[in-house]
Amino acid sequence: MHLLLLLLTACPQSQVAMVATEGGSQARARIDAVKAETDLAVIRSSIQLYRQTNEGQNPPDIASLGINGLYYPDEYRYDSTTGTVSCPECQP
């Protein structure tokens, strides 16, 4: 019940509808993908904020952003040279 409420408040309506209509493992996989997308959005926003407050410099790593509560904190690859983050394991 709490997961459904979280999805209803944190996800675009189309993503909630997809999760609601899929069954079993497909729904679980979609929920995991939405969590990863959410994490990436939070990390990317934090990188932008870091740049704004540090004269355009990229953070040295994700940990230095001080983000708490990521769903999958160890799944992301970060390139400090370019400031890009990805999740190769999260791709469908």
3-state secondary structure 39-57: HHHHHHHHHHHHHHHCCCC
| Separation CA 18–CA 9 (nearest Å) | 15
- Which sign, positive or negative, has the C-alpha torsion 18, 91, 12, 64? positive
pLDDT tens digits, 33-85? 999 999 999 999 999 999 999 999 999 999 999 999 999 999 999 999 999 99
User: pTM of this prediction?
Assistant: 0.71
Q: How far, in Å, CA of 89 to CA of 72, rounded?
A: 10
Residue 25's pLDDT band, with cuts at 50, 70 and 90, is: confident
